[in-house]
Each structure stands twice: as C-alpha cells, then as structure tokens.
Amino acid sequence: MFTRHSAAAALALCAFLPALAQDSIGSTDVWPPAVRATAAYPIRQDASQWLGSNLVGARVVSASNQTIGKVANLVINEDGAIEAAVIAVGGVLGIGRKDVAVTYKSLNIVRTQAGDAIDHVTLAAEKSELRRVAEFKTLRQQRNDRTARRRDTTSPTAVSLQTAE
C-alpha cells in the first residue's frame, strides 16, 4: 500500500517537473514599464515655449474675437508632443458645456505684452461651428459608454407573476 502511494507521488512529481523548471521572468509584459533614460535637464523656459499650466484655462476666441470657451485639457502622445487641445465650448458653471478637440497646430497662441504668459488663444473656427462638432471623449468616457451599452443590451426581461386564485 505504501509503495503504491509512493509511486503515485513520484509520478505526479515527474509530471510537474517541466512546469517547475520554466523561467517566470521571460514574460513580455513587464510591469512597471521600463523607465526612459534622459540626459537632458532643461534649466529654463525658452521664449518659444509655453507652459501647460498657462495653456490649460486660457481663453479661446474666434478670429472675429467672439468668445468660444477655454482650453480644458491637452492630448499628449507617448513622445511628449501635444497633439490636440480640448476646448470647453459654452456653458455656465459646467452646465451646457461641450468638450471639443482641435489639433494643436490650429491654435494661434497670443502672449501677454510682457511675453511671460498666454493672453488668449485664437481659432479660425466660430463657436457655432464647434457646437456642431462631435464631442471629445476621453478613454474613461469611452469605456463607461461601452459598459453602459453592454448593460442596456443585456437588461433582464420583465416577468409577470400571477397569483393562484
């Protein structure tokens, strides 16, 4: 009896040896991701550069000087370049506001007279045109929309219960 159990245990151990021998470090998904090396440490802002904190919140106007809204956020790619600016169009205290993205290259940034801050941003588009554009959706908003749609399509069907008389 003891020999039979010993043989079964030895057989089980032999079956798992290849799995135990595998190297778990060979995964392609590394977390946390590798840190990019840098040798550049800028010590001052150049006259041709903007601070993101000055751009976010800047007043946006049309070419005809009509107030459009404010810069609400920036879309930055993995290389650190700004690809788009999200403009909060209209609304009062966030009610009726619509976020619209425009390419960064479409912004005409106007500095203050001192040159150390942003006075306003000018766009070639009019406010009425931006109100007709599709609203900008962040990744989180897209995920929430998908979840809500999935929940709506899998909603339970109503069941009618009748009592016996």
* DSSP annotation string for 62-91: ETT--EEEEEEEEEE-TTS-EEEEEEEES-
Strands (E), the chain: 59-62, 67-76, 82-89, 98-103, 108-111, 118-123
Q: d(Cα 69, Cα 146) in Å, to the nearest integer?
A: 29
Q: What pLDDT, in 10s, does the model give residues 13-28?
A: 555 555 555 555 555 6
Instruction: Please count the structural domains in the chain.
Output: 1
What is the model's pLDDT at position 3?
61
Indicate whether 6 belongs to any domain. no
Range(s) of the domain holding residue 100: 52-136
Percent of the chain with pLDDT over 70: 75
Indicate whether 40 belongs to any domain. no
Tell me which of 97 and 73 has the higher pLDDT: 73
Tell me which of 160 and 54 has the higher pLDDT: 54
Indicate whether 161 belongs to any domain. no
Indicate whether 77 belongs to any domain. yes
Indicate whether 127 belongs to any domain. yes
pTM over 0.75: no
Q: What pLDDT, in 10s, does the model give residues 93-113?
A: 767 889 999 999 999 999 999
Tell me which of 38 and 85 has the higher pLDDT: 85
Indicate whether 28 belongs to any domain. no
Q: What pLDDT, in 10s, does the model give residues 25-68?
A: 555 667 777 777 777 888 888 888 888 899 999 999 999 999 99
What is the model's pLDDT at position 95?
76
Indicate whether 121 belongs to any domain. yes
